[in-house]
Amino acid sequence: MEGSIQKEQLQRCWNVCWHRALRPVEGVLVSEELAKLIAERSIRNVSLDYDEFPTEAEFTARALDETSQSARKLVSEERRKLKDPQIHHDSEDRRYDRNLDLDRLQRHDSEKGFFDSEWNHLPKILRPLALATLSRKGIKGADAEDVFSDTLVELVREREGSGHSPILDPTVFEEIIPLHARIVSFRSVDWYRRRGALKNQPNTGDSLNALTDNPDHAMQFEDRSADPGNPTFERIYKECEEALSAEEWELIFILYVTQSATIQDLIGDDAFCEKIGIKPGVSGSTRRRVISERVEDALEKIKENLIN
Amino acid sequence: MKRELPENLHSTCDLLAGSLQMRSSDQASQMPGELFDDLALRFNRVPAKAASAPSVSWFEKLQSFIARPAFGVAAFAMIILALTLPSMMSPTQGSGFRGANPISPTSEAVHIVLIHAPSEILRDLENSGDFEKGAISAVERVDDTLQGARVMVNFETSEITVVNGNGETTFTTSLPEDPNGLSSAIASAVSRL
């Protein structure tokens, strides 16, 4: 039924929202009970914005976005209330020792800028992660240190137009890690542009092994949420929302995101085929060809519109 | 599925496949049963079909309706209900589903708390006539001792938060980029309570 919701759709939405509520950011882990509350409230909140059920892709993207925001907000409030930035931090996250106080890092004075002494501890946390990333990109030694210094400046530099510094974006401290990783990534591109050639790669600097082989504090450099090449579905949806039709989103969502059906399943689904414009009575091979074309078109659009 | 696609689209497929970012070690807890019931009630409304009946004039329908003994009984019951229902009804606290909450009259005013707001914004809001002057207050930082239903407009975090009478955050949204939209954004947040 058009505009109605099926239990399987809500179940899928529930599963992903629950997971997002449990770990809204890499390094944050809330209790399962709290995740349940956040996911339920977020799904209910989003449902209030619709008179008819939209596509599963749209509803799930919006519910995920609301869940992620609510969970981060709740974690932030509890940390502020209990004056403990370590609350809800995943004890298995060993990228660094302890969280810093985000409120203090974000404290700003019009004359003194970001002046809090908490800033003294931030380079110690970000440096090994940044140097590892830069090393992988072939930037080492003094060059890597220069790029790293630039990235710290970038964190507090007011953006043109909004006058808003990137450090003010995060809701929880753990978000600084992916934020900084993105800055490092962009700055490394700038560095290569300035150098103009790949050949100038000094073979010196911090050893990645030295940072990773320590049995007590082996650094985990891979932060999935930090990787601009590994975006969340809600981000993909936001960036490409208008490029795809509702039917194209549904196709992509079913086939590749939730993988809840195969093309063969869709070929046999008369109602779905009709919805995407395949007339009743056409052969299976024609259905397959039309669905494949629609899928390729949709994937091309996502590829073009996704901001790297 | 991926194999049937041109190679240049494989990476896009991989992005989509990993975009839900779930860990297999985390097992989602069971979906609350009433969640589907509530959403189905909201979205799965079947439109009523028009009944086909022999054509009867409006006056004949009225005559036959009034002539039924049930009409007298129903009319009597309606009068009794009209007199007694208001005293029987008492506002109850609904579930977390804001759409299902009963709209109950309350004498408790909603407070609009501006946190770290520029003074001209407070003045503009008070003079806008959109809100009662006494409903708006300004504080320098988040005050955990505040009680009652309130809408908190935090200019430090650029967020509007709706807190219900039980102290639960029920809705959060970002401040509008255009300051002229602030008044309507707050009104919209108040309507969420």
- A267-290 residue pLDDT tens: 998 888 888 888 888 898 999 999
Query: What three-state secondary structure class fits A178?
Result: helix
The B159-163 sheet, strands edge to edge: B136-139, B111-115, B150-154, B159-163, B169-174
For residue A218 the two structure tokens come to 């082996």
Q: Cα distance from B15 to chain A (closest Cα, Å)?
A: 6
Question: For residue B95, what is the nearest residue in chain A, using CA coordinates?
Answer: A41
Q: Does B157 touch chain A (CB under 8 A)?
A: yes
Helices A284-305 and A233-240 meet at what angle, rounded to 10? Answer: 90
Position B176 confidence tier, pLDDT thresholds 50, 70, 90: confident
- The closest CB to that of A32, out of B29, B40, B142, belongs to B29
User: Tokens for A1?
Assistant: 């039924």
Write the DSSP assignment of A49-64 as a string of letters: T-SS---HHHHHHHHH
Of B32, B40, B96, the CB nearest to A5: B40
Calculated CA dihedral for residues A255, A260, A265, A268, nearest 10 degrees: -100
- pTM (2 decimals)? 0.64
Task: Tell me the β-bridge partners of B111.
Answer: B150
pLDDT grade, residue A228 (50/70/90)? low
CATH number of B111-191: 3.40.50
User: In this predicted model, what pLDDT tens digit does every residue of B148-158 receive, in sequence order?
Assistant: 888 888 888 88
Chain A contact for B191 (CB, 8 A cutoff): no
CA distance A220 to B96: 39
- Chain A residues whose CB is inside 8 A of the B17 CB are 256-257, 259
The rounded percent of chain B whose pLDDT value lies above 90 is 7
HEC sequence for A26-44:
CCECCCHHHHHHHHHHHHH
Of A20, A53, A236, nearest to B16 by CB-CB distance is: A236
pLDDT band at B178 (very low <50, low <70, confident <90, very high): confident
